[in-house]
């Protein structure tokens, strides 16, 4: 089984990286939603040095931008207050033009993995007038989704293609494609990898929207591995449906013989606390019982206060004997 850390500021120093390997880390995810692979060269140099010192040959998974939609750059974080108006587009929070085209009055718009929620009141030239249903602080480049509506976007951005060309030079072994909608998205990634001379890299498909769920069989045929990405998948449906959907994806992966990993909020409380909740360790163990080939920490290691401790809890929980 692979145990992933997400690389970030909280684990960027050599000592913490070595502590993660000592705790059982076997693989790492590098999130390229906000940066380029070449900008991460110093971090990756320390990562592979720590791996060599620990005697580990790790997998490095580069997580592309893909068709995920995000707000643009903000001069400063924007406070969205429940019940108050908010403007998306011209004169307000910058968003892609595809959002302005797709949204209709009455639609609900999720921001920052559903931490914030807006309702579209009217669509005007160059902007959407909204009301804040769930408020908070919005920062640059946070995720955006129109609930129950698809926003047109290409499978790969130009930055993605550049990062794929650099993948081998920086030691990547796998590509994690977000928001996979069908086998065509996977074929697009494989074609770009072949064109970049790195066709041997494995392609992992993130399942995190309803369209991906509806095309799961063809995605299973096309991808080397699936990632049950519960963050955005939980945004795409009422949250109480998510456990059943996770179990269903796991069952279909087992039947097809396709490995899968589980990601998002496995030890979320450990971003702030040194000890996880009982529910979190139970969640990890249940994923193992379902046949997961990998478990992936995200914010716990990227920005959390206790990255090595989180990895230790992940590995030790997953390695507990199964009841026969």
Question: What domains, with CATH codes, occur in the chain?
Answer: 2-68+153-318 (3.20.20.60), 71-146 (2.40.33.10)
Q: What are phi and psi of 142, to 5 degrees?
A: -80, 155
Q: Give me the residues paired with residue 219 across strands.
A: none
3-state secondary structure of 286: helix
Predicted TM-score of the model (pTM): 0.87
Spatial contact of 210 and 236, defined as CB atoms under 8 Å apart: yes
pLDDT at 145: 87
Report d(CA 89, CA 100) in Å as an integer.
7
Average pLDDT per 10 consecutive residues for the chain, totaling 324 residues: 97 98 98 94 98 97 91 93 96 93 94 91 95 95 86 90 96 97 97 95 95 96 97 88 97 97 98 98 98 98 98 97 76
Spatial contact of 66 and 9, defined as CB atoms under 8 Å apart: no
3-state secondary structure of 268: helix
**Which of 238, 259, 264, 114 has the alpha carbon at shortest distance from 178?**
264
Report d(CA 225, CA 64) in Å as an integer.
15
Token pair for 40: 């991460």
pLDDT at 67: 86
Strands (E), the chain: 2-6, 27-31, 59-63, 69-70, 78-80, 85-89, 108-111, 116-124, 127-134, 136-138, 143-146, 174-177, 202-207, 225-229, 260-263, 294-296
> Could you write out the DSSP letters of every residue in 110-166?
EETTTTEEEEEEEEETTEEEEEEEE-EEE-TT-EEEETT------SS-HHHHHHHHH
Phi-psi sector, 277: left (phi>0), alpha (psi -120 to 50), beta:
beta
pLDDT at 255: 97
pLDDT at 232: 87
């Amino acid at each position: 089984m692979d145990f992933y850390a997400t690389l970030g500021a909280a684990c960027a120093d050599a000592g913490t990286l070595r502590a993660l390997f000592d705790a059982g880390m076997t693989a790492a995810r590098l999130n390229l939603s906000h940066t380029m692979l070449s900008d991460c060269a110093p971090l990756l140099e320390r990562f592979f040095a720590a791996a060599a010192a620990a005697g580990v040959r790790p997998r490095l998974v580069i997580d592309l931008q893909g068709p995920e939609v995000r707000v643009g750059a903000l001069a400063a974080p924007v406070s969205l207050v429940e019940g108050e108006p908010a403007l998306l587009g011209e004169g307000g929070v910058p968003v892609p033009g595809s959002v302005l085209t797709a949204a209709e009055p009455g639609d609900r718009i999720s921001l920052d993995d559903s931490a914030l929620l807006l309702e579209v009141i009217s669509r005007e030239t160059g902007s959407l007038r909204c009301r804040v249903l769930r408020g908070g602080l919005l920062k640059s480049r946070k995720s955006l989704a129109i609930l129950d509506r698809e926003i047109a976007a290409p499978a790969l951005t130009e930055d993605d293609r550049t990062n794929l060309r650099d993948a081998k030079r920086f030691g990547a072994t796998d590509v994690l494609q977000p928001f996979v909608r069908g086998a065509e998205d996977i074929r697009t990634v494989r074609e770009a990898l072949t064109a970049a001379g790195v066709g041997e890299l494995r392609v992992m498909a993130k399942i995190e929207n309803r369209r991906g769920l509806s095309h799961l069989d063809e995605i299973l045929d096309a991808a080397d591995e699936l990632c049950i990405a519960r963050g955005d998948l939980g945004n795409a449906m009422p949250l109480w449906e998510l456990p059943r959907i996770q179990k269903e994806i796991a069952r279909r992966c087992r039947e097809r013989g396709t490995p899968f990993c589980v990601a998002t909020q496995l030890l979320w409380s450990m971003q702030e606390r040194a000890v996880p909740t009982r529910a979190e360790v139970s969640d990890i163990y249940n994923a193992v019982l379902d046949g997961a080939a990998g478990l992936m920490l995200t914010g716990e290691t990227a920005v959390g206060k206790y990255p090595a401790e989180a990895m230790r809890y992940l590995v030790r929980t997953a390695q507990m004997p199964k009841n026969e």
